[in-house]
Amino acid sequence: MERNTEQSTEPSTEQPAPTPRQRVAFLGLGHMGAPMAGRVLAAGHPLTVWNRTAAKAEPLVAAGARAASTPAEAVRDADVVLTMLAGPDALRHVADEILPVLRERDGVHWVEMSTVGPDAVRALGERMPDGVTLVDAPVAGSTDKAAAGRLGILAGGDATAVEPLLAHLGTVTRTGPLGSGAALKVVVNTAVLGGVALVAESMALADALGLDAEVARGVLAQGPLGGAVARAFATDVHFGNGLAAKDVALATSTTWLPAMEAVRGHYEAAAADPDVADEDIAAAVTRIRRTREPRA
Judge contact between 140 and 152, C-beta under 8 A: yes
Judge contact between 264 and 276, C-beta under 8 A: no
Average pLDDT over residues 75-92: 97
Find the CATH number of the domain harbouring 283: 1.10.1040.10
Q: Does 171 score more than 50 pLDDT?
A: yes
Of 176, 211, 231, the domain-final residue: 176
Residues 87 and 29 in one domain: yes
Mean pLDDT of the chain: 92
**145 belongs to the catalytic site:** no
- Residue 4 inside a domain? The answer is no
Of 160, 176, 192, the domain-final residue: 176
**Identity at 266, one-letter amino acid code:** H
Q: How far apart are CA 264 and CA 218, in angstroms?
A: 26
User: If pLDDT is split at 50, 70 and 90, which confidence band does 296 have?
Assistant: low
Q: How far apart are CA 241 and CA 276, in angstroms?
A: 8
Burial class (CB in 10 A: 0-12, 13-18, 19+), 36: buried
Residues 156 and 213 in one domain: no
Q: Does 212 score more than 90 pLDDT?
A: yes
> What is the structure's pLDDT at 191?
97
Q: Annotate 6-30 with DSSP letters as a single string.
A: PPP-SPP-PPPPPPPPPPEEEE--S
The helix-helix angle for 118-126 and 180-208 (nearest 10°) equals 160
Closest CA relative to residue 213, chosen from 237, 191, 232: 232
> What is the structure's pLDDT at 203?
97
Residues 147 and 234 in one domain: no
| DSSP letter, residue 129 | P
Q: Does 236 score more than 90 pLDDT?
A: no
Q: Does 166 score more than 90 pLDDT?
A: yes
Catalytic residue selected from 56, 145, 185, 246: 185
Question: Which distant-in-sequence residues (6+ apart) come within 8 Å of 252 by Cβ?
Answer: 260, 261, 264
> What is the structure's pLDDT at 8?
41
- Residue 15 inside a domain? The answer is no
Ranges assigned E (strand) in the chain:
24-27, 47-50, 66-67, 80-83, 108-112, 132-136, 139-140, 151-156, 170-176
User: If pLDDT is split at 50, 70 and 90, which confidence band does 291 have?
Assistant: confident
Find the CATH number of the domain harbouring 130: 3.40.50.720
Residues 167 and 197 in one domain: no
**Identity at 46, one-letter amino acid code:** P
The Cα-based distances of 172 to 21, 52, 165, 177, 204 in angstroms read 19, 28, 10, 14, 38
Q: Residue 114 — left, alpha, or beta (φ > 0 → left; ψ -120 to 50 → alpha)?
A: beta
> What is the structure's pLDDT at 89?
96
User: If pLDDT is split at 50, 70 and 90, which confidence band does 238 have?
Assistant: confident
Residues 200 and 269 in one domain: yes
Q: What domain range is 52 assigned to?
A: 24-176
- Residue 240 inside a domain? The answer is yes
β-strand 151-156 against 139-140: which pairing, if any? Answer: antiparallel
